[in-house]
Each structure stands twice: as structure tokens, then as C-alpha cells.
Amino acid sequence: MRPEVVKLSGRSALSRLDVLVVGVGGAGRHMAAQMPGTRLAVCQEGDAGTPGPHQIILRRSEVAVARTSSPTALRSSDLPWKRRLEEAIGRPDLLFLFSGLGGETGSSLTPLITEMAHYHTLTFANVCLPFSVEGTGRRSLAREGLERLRGSADLLAVYANDPLIRLAPNLPLARAFGVMDQIMLSLPSEMCSCLTAESLPHLKELLTHRELRAGIGYGTGLEKERLAVEEALSSPWFPSERFTPESAFLLITQGEVDRPGLESCVGHAGEVLPVKRMMVSSRLDPALGRRVRASILLAYRF
């Protein structure tokens, strides 16, 4: 059966969203710095470049408190660093968080920020999981952080680092992190340029409280729409076919206005995606020329 398609309307001046991008920990700070819009970095001292107005720098002991206290205890405690954090975050409509789980800061503060903000803001956490070679300590911190995020982030996209080794076996670690940054930033930065206030309730309804996995594909030539969707669906971040996604978000980027091409992309995704509902948005990026890009988020309950 074909999915019900929810088309998101285009961007209008009336419906501008108040978006804040927060990078947590060393990796998160690095990722967020490459996003468009208003940004904030939350880091431990020593990890944070030059202090500035858009940084919250925490002491080691403060990060330890964030890691070891229960969400209830933290919510009711009046700690000066927590107040600074709350003030800096404010009440945006949409909060993108970026973090590499496995370190102390990202694994503890990313869940804490979603726990604090989700009462008044739609929180969208984008996290990567450490390479297996980074060791069991990092893996266990990452697991702890992910578990807390599952309970507190409205939207949660998870990218394991290990599949990168299969895609590019000889990549040095520093380059691999750079590639991961680009993969993780792609969908959120596209979303920033096409989401409207009207689209938030749909995002909430279709994608919250599930785990999101992403795929991105390009197509060119006569069957570019089909090729783009198929490349996106071959992403190593989707789980095996044993798991069935519940809903999907398809973002189509074209180099030039092409309505039939758009319809064909949506039609093909509808044929191959085993979901009940699919949210669709589109945008133009002249840099693509005659190519088309399909970015797909699939929502799972594991």
C-alpha cells in the first residue's frame, strides 16, 4: 500500500522559524560551527577555543554533576551554570543539537539540554556513536547518553561511526570525522532553509519518539529521480530489513524548477518505502545544476 503523503508548504516571510543550533562537546562544537544561523557551543574548559558570547564553558566538576544526577534532581536544583545554560538557550521554536557521544561533555550535556528545553521547544538531537576501536569506555558513555536521549529528545537522529570504515576503509581518523560531520550536517542544514512554523506540528506527529536514520542520494540523467531515491535508500545507516520504518521524511533538492521531476521522485519513494505516512518537502539549490538530491529520514521504533 502506498503511504499517505503530507506535503509541507514552501517558506513564507510570515512563517519564519526561530532556530538555534547547539554544539555540545568538542565534536559537537565543530559540527555546529558549520551550520547556518544562530549557534551556541557548550564545552568543557580546555575544549573550547576562545571564550566568546556564544559559548558556555563548564568546569569538569559541573559536567560530572550533569552526568551523575537524575533528571528530576537536576530540574529542581538551582545551579549557576544551569541558569547560564537556560538563559543562553532561551525558547526557540526548533533546537538542533549536535554531538559526538562517547566523551563526557556530549554524552551528559546533550540529554540534559533536551530534558530542559523540550517543554517549550522542539528538540532535534543529531548524534554519532564512537568507532569500536575507540574502546569500551567511550562505547559505554555513548550508550548511557543515547539511552537518556531516547527518553528526552523529541527528534533523535543516530549515526554510527563504524559503517564509515566499510565505505572508506583507508580513511585516517581525522578525515573520517570530517566526512561524518558533512553527512550529519546535510539534512539539518537543508531543513533550516525549508521548514516553516506550519511544518513543525507535522514533524512532531510523524517523527517524534522514534529513532531516525538518514540516507542521502544523488541522481543525474534520464532517471535521476529514481537513482537519487535508490542511492539514498542504500545508506549504511538504515538498519536491516528486519526493521520496518513507520514514517518517512523526504526532502528533494533540485537544481532548477521541475514539477514533473518532483512528482516522479515522490512517486518512486512512495512505491519503495514501506511506510504508512511520508512527509515531503522540496527546495532549489542552483549549485546542483541538472542533478537532483534525495535526503530521506526514516523513523523506527526499535
Interface residues with ligand GTP (CB under 6 A)? 25-27, 30, 44, 47, 100, 102-106, 128, 130-131, 134, 138, 161, 177, 180-181
From ligand GTP, Mg ion, none, interface partner of 154 (C-beta below 5 to 8 A by class): none
From Mg ion, ligand GTP, none, interface partner of 134 (C-beta below 5 to 8 A by class): ligand GTP
CB 24 within 8 A of CB 99: yes
Where on the phi/psi map is residue 49: left (φ > 0), alpha (ψ -120 to 50), or beta?
Answer: left
Cell 554524552 -> residue = 107
Residue 44 or 121 with smaller CB distance to ligand GTP: 44
Please give, one letter per residue, the 3-state secondary structure of 151-199.
HHCCEEEEEECCHHHHHCCCCCHHHHHHHHHHHHHHHHHHHHHHCCHHH
Q: In 3D, which of 31, 37, 33, 40 has the Cα closest to residue 58?
A: 40
DSSP letter at 11? P
Rounded Cα distance between 124 and 22, Å, is 10
Least distance from ligand GTP to the Cβ atom of residue 28, Å? 6
Position 103 contacts Mg ion (CB under 5 A): yes
Least distance from ligand GTP to the Cβ atom of residue 78, Å? 24
Residue 47 or 225 with smaller CB distance to ligand GTP: 47
Residue 17 or 184 with smaller CB distance to ligand GTP: 184
CB 109 within 8 A of CB 125: no
Least distance from Mg ion to the Cβ atom of residue 47, Å? 4
CB 8 within 8 A of CB 279: yes
CB 25 within 8 A of CB 109: yes
Residue 152 C-beta-side C-alpha neighbours within 13 Å: 24
Residue 26 or 219 with smaller CB distance to ligand GTP: 26
The contact pattern for Mg ion, residues 35-74, with x = CB under 5 A and - = no contact, is ------------x---------------------------
Residue 24 or 265 with smaller CB distance to ligand GTP: 24
Least distance from ligand GTP to the Cβ atom of residue 63, Å? 6
CB 35 within 8 A of CB 96: yes
Position 104 contacts Mg ion (CB under 5 A): no
Least distance from ligand GTP to the Cβ atom of residue 66, Å? 11
Least distance from ligand GTP to the Cβ atom of residue 43, Å? 7
Binding stretches for Mg ion (CB under 5 A): 26, 47, 103
